[in-house]
Amino acid sequence: MQGQARLAAGRTDSGATTPFGRSHTLDFLRGLAIAGVMAIHVSQSFPSGIRAIDFSFMCGWVGVNVFYFVSAMTMCLMWTQRATETNPTRKFYIRRFLRIAPLFWLAIPFYLLVKGTGPSYDAPNGIGPLQVFLTATFLHGFWPDSINSVVPGDWSIAAEMTFYLIFPFVIISFGSRRNLYLALAMVLHLINVCIFKPWAYEAFLGYYGPGNEVFVWGTLHLSFLNQLPVFLTGCALFFSLRDGFTKSDSAMFAGFIALSFVTNRVTGAHEFNYLMINLVIGALVVGCIRFSAHWRPLEALGRNSYSMYLSHFAVIWGLRTIWPLADGLNSLLLAYALTAALSYLVSLASWHLIERRAQDLAHRLSSSATKTAARTDAVTAASVVLNGRSAGA
């Protein structure tokens, strides 16, 4: 609890008017993220044939990284706002689990039915009980042919859930000392580039055999260790925004860039570009929050972004099977508009049928945990008083 109190006390006098108090900006960023994610997947199924247009749509992959930054900042915001509640870690897990799991578990049998279980790029040997089990338990990010095979795009959900698992321990240990988050991000980035990825590449390539080089390298890029520095940088940016940027922040980021550049030159790991892209995305996120960016259509998408993320793959698949137009710019734009609209409608239905009920359950469970803790504290206090009286007597 002392660490929690330090988090609350670490707020500056302007904390009450922090941009994080304006939640519409976070929804706006989530809307940008899901718009980008839909763009890349729509363009893969409905290419325009115009290089510049298709490239622009393909750049939508950065939407996942925007989600990571916003997720890290949102978790920090929620944690600091509840800094004095009892059993914060338990309640955090209840809320996060019930936010993600119910809809995701429904997506597993649906996509198994739609996609089948045969061999594919994401699962060279097909999908079996192991891949399904790892996905259902959110451990699919630790094995190559399960990381993205059962539910399309579920590699990012694996990264999110693994981040949620460790987040309470990190924020309790580091508090609002953002340099520690950046230092850990640096260390993990270097370990990943210099040690883990070379070792894992050789090990998994030996397991899957020649001809799977691209598959193995791609899954290592999706791995949690490769994504964790993004989350940690997001935590650092949250506290920098809340408490004010300093020269030490600039020095840490400069050191991060320099170390990554040198490592890239020495190892040829090609992760420097990915780091720089993420830092640019982080700067975009910070700028949107500082200037309170908002636009209602994107905010509406952002509030339903999780369900849209899970459902838009199915919408694209369904459209592709009945699509009457030849590939081209008009086809791409119409397919994108329909994908966004239909995915949004699915998200509204899933909110009323599933997500709202899960969140109500999370609220009841976390509230009951609070009441139980309060009763325990009251019983303990009464016991102390009674024991004190007995001793005095």
pLDDT 10s digits, 183-196 = 999 999 999 999 99
Q: Tell me: pLDDT of 144 over 60.
A: yes
pLDDT level of residue 391 (50, 70, 90 thresholds) = very low
59 burial (CB, 10 Å; 0-12 / 13-18 / 19+) is middle
- In this structure, the dihedral spanned by the alpha carbons of residues 282, 284, 285 and 287, taken in order and rounded to 10 degrees, is 120
What pLDDT, on a 0 to 100 scale, did the predictor assign at position 200? 96
Q: Which of 125, 96, 93, 131 has its CA nearest to residue 112?
A: 131
Pairwise CA distance, residues 144 & 203, whole Å: 11
Q: Check residue 367 and give its pLDDT.
A: 85
Q: What is the DSSP letter of 146?
A: G
Percentage of residues of the chain with pLDDT beyond 90 = 82
For the stretch 215-263, pLDDT in tens is 999 999 999 999 999 999 999 999 999 999 999 999 999 999 999 999 8
Q: How far apart are CA 38 and CA 339, in angstroms?
A: 8
Query: What pLDDT score was predicted for residue 19?
Result: 61
Give the DSSP H/E element, type plus range, for residue 21: none
Question: What does the angle CA 287 – CA 272 – CA 277 come to, to the nearest 5 degrees?
Answer: 25
H/E stretch holding 304: none
Round to whole Å and give the CA distance between 341 and 301. Answer: 10
Q: What percent of the chain has pLDDT over 70?
A: 88
CA dist., res. 242 & res. 176, Å (int): 9
User: Among 19-28, 140-149, 238-247, whose mean pLDDT is lowest?
Assistant: 19-28
Q: Give the tokens for residue 288.
A: 């949107």
229/73 Cα distance (integer angstroms)? 13
pLDDT tens by residue, 80-95: 998 788 899 999 999 9
pLDDT of residue 371: 54
- pLDDT, position 360: 95
The per-residue pLDDT for 47 is 97
* Whether the Cβ atoms of residue 8 and residue 283 lie closer than 8 Å to each other: no
Nearest Cα neighbor of 272 from 216, 69, 280 is 280
pLDDT above 50: residue 387: no
- Angle at CA of residue 298, ends 297 and 299, nearest 5°: 90
pLDDT at 384: 36
Spatial CA neighbour of 136 closest among 115, 161, 116, 118: 161
pLDDT at 340 over 70: yes
Q: How far apart are CA 138 and CA 320, in angstroms?
A: 29
Per-residue pLDDT band at 17 (split at 50, 70, 90) = very low
Write down the pLDDT at residue 22: 54
Say which residues have a Cβ less than 8 Å from residue 323's Cβ, sequence separation at least 6.
Answer: 46, 331, 335
pLDDT score of 382: 34
d(CA 42, CA 341): 13
CB neighbour class for 107 (10 Å; exposed up to 12, middle 13-18, buried from 19)? buried
* The pLDDT value given to residue 378: 41
> How many Å apart are CA 155 and CA 338, to the nearest integer?
25
Q: What's the whole-number average pLDDT of the chain? A: 89
Between 175 and 13, name the one with better pLDDT: 175
Give the amino acid at 220: L
Q: Which two tokens stand for residue 329?
A: 């710019």
> Is residue 286's pLDDT more than 60?
yes
Average pLDDT over residues 322-343: 97
Are the C-beta atoms of residues 54 and 31 closer than 8 Å to each other? no
Q: How does pLDDT run across 152-177, given as a tens digit for each residue?
A: 999 999 999 999 999 999 999 999 99
Q: The tokens of 387 are what? A: 């024991």
Listed residue (282, 276, 277, 266) closest to 193, CA to CA:
266
Report the alpha-carbon distance of residue 215 to residue 121 in Å, rounded. Answer: 7
Contact 240, 178 (CB under 8 A): yes
Pick the residue with more confidence: 375 or 29? 29
The whole-number pLDDT of residue 42 equals 98
Q: Which of 129, 135, 130 is nearest to 152 (CA)?
A: 135
Domain residue spans of the chain? 2-392
Write out pLDDT tens, residues 341-366. 999 999 999 999 999 999 999 999 98
Whether the model pTM is above 0.85:
yes
pLDDT at 370 over 70: no
Q: Rounded to the nearest 5 degrees, what angle is found at the Cα of 282, between the Cα atoms of 278 and 217?
A: 20
Instruction: Grade residue 266 by pLDDT with cuts at 50, 70 and 90.
Output: confident
